[in-house]
Chain A
Amino acid sequence: GQQVMQIPQYQHVQEGEDFTTYCNSSTTLSNIQWYKQRPGGHPVFLIQLVKSGEVKKQKRLTFQFGEAKKNSSLHITATQTTDVGTYFCAVGYTSGTYKYIFGTGTRLKVLA
C-alpha cells in the first residue's frame, strides 16, 4: 500500500537541543497534517498546511510545506522533556479527501 516516509525514524536529543523531522512524498500533495502521539497515548492534531511554501509556527514548533508540495518538515527549537513522543505527518493527495495516509513516524526521545 501507499507509504509516506519520514526521517529520521528515531532521534535522541539532549534537552535544549533542536529537532527536525522530515516527511517526503513522491507525489504532489493537496495538504499535509502533523500529529503528535505521546507514549501510550493517541495521535493529537497539531496543524495543517495547505499552501506551497507555507510556514506556520506554534511556540517552539515550526512547520513548513515545500514549494513543490511534496515534502514537509517539523522543527522544534530547544526541546523539552514534554516534547517526547512520535511525530506523524498525514498526507492528503486530493482536495476534500476523506483519506489521509500517515507517515512512518519519528520517535523523539529527550534526555534531561
Chain B
Amino acid sequence: DTAVSQTPKYLVTQMGNDKSIKCEQNLGHDTMYWYKQDSKKFLKIMFSYNNKELIINETVPNRFSPKSPDKAHLNLHINSLELGDSAVYFCASRQSEAHNEQFFGPGTRLTVL
C-alpha cells in the first residue's frame, strides 16, 4: 500500500495555464507539506498544513494555492504557470511533533513550456 501518493506523476503544460497536483496520505498523519525541488536538487518547503489548517507559507507567490479538504489530502493549485515553476513537487506527511519523520510522496515532475 502506498503511504503518500501524488497525481499526476508527470505534468507538461504551456505557460499561462492553470494546473493542480493532488496528494493523499493513508498514514493517519496530522501534518502535510509541499516541497519544491529545482533542477539543482535544492529542496524548499512551500507550505505546511496541520489538521487542515495552514501553518507555514514560505513566501510562495499567490499563484500557488494549497487546499486541504481533510487531514488526509493536501492539493496544490497553480495559476498562470511560468517557466520558473518547472520543478519536481513533493508532498510529504508527518505524524506529530513527537514523531518527526517525514514520509515523502513519489513526486510530480512539472514542465512548463
- For the complex, is A66 an interface residue (Cβ under 8 Å from B)? no
By a CB distance below 8 angstroms, the chain B residues around A88 are: 43
From the candidates B41, B55, B102, B107, name the one contacting A100 in the complex (CB within 8 A): B102
By size class, the interface of chain B is: 20 to 34
Using a CB-CB cutoff of 8 Å, which residues 13-66 of chain B contact chain A? Answer: 31, 35, 41-45, 48, 50, 55-56, 58-59
Question: Are A44 and B41 in contact, with the CB atoms below 8 A?
Answer: no
Cα–Cα distance between A5 and B64 once the two chains are bound (Å): 27
Are the CB atoms of A1 and B104 closer together than 8 Å? no
Size band of the interface chain A makes with B = 20 to 34
Q: Please, which residue of chain A has its CB at the minimum distance from the CB of B48?
A: A98
Most chain B CB inside 10 Å of its own CB: which residue of A44, A96, A98, A102: A98
Determine the distance from Cα of A35 to Cα of B101 in the docked complex, in whole angstroms. Answer: 10
B45 in contact with A105 (CB, 8 Å): no
| Residue A42 at the chain B interface, CB threshold 8 Å | yes
Provide the residues of chain B in CB contact with A98, threshold 8 Å. Answer: 31, 48, 50, 55-56, 94
Q: Is the CB of B41 within 8 A of A86?
A: yes
Question: Nearest CB to that of A106 among chain B residues?
Answer: B41
B69-113: which have CB < 8 Å to A? 90, 92, 94, 97, 100-107
Q: Which of A1-45 contact B (CB under 8 A)?
A: 1, 31, 33, 35, 37, 41-45
Q: Please, which residue of chain A has its CB at the minimum distance from the CB of B43?
A: A102
Chain A residues with CB under 8 A of B103: 45
Interfacial chain B residues near A100, Cβ < 8 Å: 45, 102
- C-alpha spacing A101/B45, complex, angstroms: 7
Whether B90 contacts A1 by the Cβ 8 Å rule is: no
CA distance A42 to B109 in the complex (A): 12
- A92 to B43, alpha carbons, bound, how many Å? 15
**Residues of chain B at the chain A interface (Cβ within 8 Å):** 31, 35, 41-45, 48, 50, 55-56, 58-59, 90, 92, 94, 97, 100-107
